[in-house]
């Protein structure tokens, strides 16, 4: 339970803040599963964010940070404490020369459109990734040969209430990993260094990548994209397909028939269905090929009985 004194203080301190209690996480994640967050807030500026975090600390309220929820599996019991969502209220963006500066709540597709409008190349790979800039920094999101590490010049982060600007070299961006995953620092925004190019050529590359996505990925069903990381020396989707798991279902969770690397919500799935299917896929792939698949999706929250499956 979240302390009433915390909620009272939120109400009194930030009358304009967007927040709610018992926020269904299934509406805020692309997998469309997950129980409620005790309290969800969407701050619109760094001062409010800082204040909220300090208040949470004072009241012993745990904090979970999310962006667009496109790489998140929230367990069915939901998330205890405060969920801070970086979204539209925290998504200012500006261009100066070849540098795009943006707050972390901006969607990558909007960021890619801003770059296109400014005649800047480098974010074509990101146009089809349904996350925010913050989530993309944390995950070092990438596709089709591009990834965040190639365009980030520096990022603004918040650590224990102190804001800092880190050059890309300090972010330790690796394959779907970053320093932020280890430290729990919050990404506030970033500066991206792009390359001037003809907007028509940029648009053509974006369209080509979007078409490739539509052809290969099950975009008609809720998912979190590739569920597992690519193991060294192999492709997760290929290993899953070779293990004969395409179309395998647990409840409403299913290994996509179109792309075996995607676990999709085929209708009415629960987080437990996804966790069971994930374990089944890992076991089958380990026995058939010896590879250990590690989820790329971040798993948060608790089971309905308060435990962790």
Ligand X SMILES: Cc1cc2nc3c(=O)[nH]c(=O)nc-3n(C[C@H](O)[C@H](O)[C@H](O)COP(=O)(O)OP(=O)(O)OC[C@H]3O[C@@H](n4cnc5c(N)ncnc54)[C@H](O)[C@@H]3O)c2cc1C
295 near ligand X, rule: CB under 6 A: no
- Identify the residue among 48, 121, 132, 149 touching ligand X (CB under 6 A): 132
Footprint of ligand X on 81-100 (CB under 6 A): 86
Q: Does 112 bind ligand X (CB under 6 A)?
A: no
Residue 185 backbone phi and psi in degrees, to 5? -60, 150
The single residue listed with the structure tokens 């966790």 is 275
Helix axes 46-58, 4-13, angle to 10 degrees: 160
Query: Which residues in the 231-260 window bind ligand X by CB under 6 A?
Result: none
Count of other CB atoms within 10 angstroms of residue 268: 11
Closest to 297 in 3D by CA, of 256, 264, 269, 267: 264
Distance CA 37, CA 93 (A): 29
Residue 242 burial by Cβ neighbours in a 10 Å radius (0-12, 13-18, 19+): middle
Asked whether position 186 contacts ligand X by CB under 6 A, the answer is yes
Q: Which two tokens stand for residue 134?
A: 């913050």
Residues touching ligand X, count (CB under 6 A):
31
If one asks whether residue 265 binds ligand X (CB under 6 A), the answer comes out as no
Selected catalytic residue, list 70, 178, 226, 256: 226
x/- binding map, residues 8-37, to ligand X, per CB under 6 A?
Answer: ----------------------x-------
Give the DSSP H/E element, type plus range, for residue 180: helix 179-183
Q: Is 176 a catalytic residue?
A: yes
CB 291 within 8 A of CB 63: no
Among 65, 74, 83, 281, binds ligand X (CB under 6 A): 65
In the complex with ligand X, which residue's Cβ is closer, 210 or 288?
210
Question: Half-sphere exposure of 262 toward its Cβ, with a 13 Å CA cutoff?
Answer: 21
Catalytic member of 75, 176, 230, 248: 176
What the block records as the tokens of 24 is 């269904």
Instruction: Give the residue from 120, 86, 84, 128 showing the smallest Cα distance to 101.
Output: 120
- What's the closest the beta carbon of residue 47 comes to ligand X, in angstroms? 16
By beta-carbon proximity to ligand X, the closer residue of 30 and 242 is 30
Does 228 bind ligand X (CB under 6 A)? Our answer is no
Of the candidate residues 2, 25, 180, 255, the single one contacting ligand X (CB under 6 A): 180
210: contact with ligand X by CB under 6 A: no
**Which residues have a catalytic role annotated?**
176, 226, 296
Binding site for ligand X (CB under 6 A): 30, 65-72, 86, 104, 129-132, 134-136, 138-139, 141-143, 180, 186-187, 219, 223-225, 298
């Amino acid at each position: 339970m979240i302390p009433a004194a915390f909620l009272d203080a939120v109400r009194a301190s930030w009358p304009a803040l967007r927040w709610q209690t018992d926020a269904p996480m299934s509406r805020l994640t692309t997998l469309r599963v997950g129980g409620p967050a005790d309290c969800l807030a969407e701050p619109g500026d760094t001062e409010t964010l800082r204040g909220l975090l300090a208040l949470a600390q004072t009241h012993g309220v745990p904090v979970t940070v999310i962006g667009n929820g496109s790489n998140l599996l929230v367990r069915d019991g939901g998330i205890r404490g405060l969920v801070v969502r970086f979204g539209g209220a925290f998504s200012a963006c500006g261009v100066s020369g070849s540098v795009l500066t943006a707050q972390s709540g901006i969607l990558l597709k909007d960021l890619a459109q801003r770059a296109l409008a400014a005649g800047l190349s480098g974010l074509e790979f990101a146009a089809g990734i349904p996350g925010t800039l913050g989530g993309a920094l944390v995950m070092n999101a990438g596709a089709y040969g591009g990834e965040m590490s190639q365009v980030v010049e520096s990022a603004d982060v918040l650590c224990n209430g102190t804001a800092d600007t880190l050059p890309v070299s300090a972010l330790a961006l690796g394959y779907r990993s970053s320093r932020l995953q280890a430290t729990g620092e919050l990404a506030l925004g970033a500066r991206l260094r792009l390359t001037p190019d003809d907007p028509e050529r940029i648009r053509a590359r974006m369209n080509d990548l979007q078409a490739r996505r539509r052809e290969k990925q099950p975009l008609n069903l809720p998912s979190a994209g590739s569920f597992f990381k690519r193991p060294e020396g192999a492709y997760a989707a290929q290993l899953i397909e070779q293990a004969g798991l395409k179309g395998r279902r647990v409840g409403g969770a299913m290994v996509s028939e179109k792309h075996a690397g995607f676990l999709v919500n085929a209708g009415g799935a629960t987080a437990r269905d996804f966790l069971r299917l994930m374990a089944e896929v890992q076991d089958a792939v380990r026995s058939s090929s010896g590879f250990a698949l590690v989820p790329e999706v971040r798993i948060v929250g608790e089971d309905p009985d308060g435990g962790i499956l």
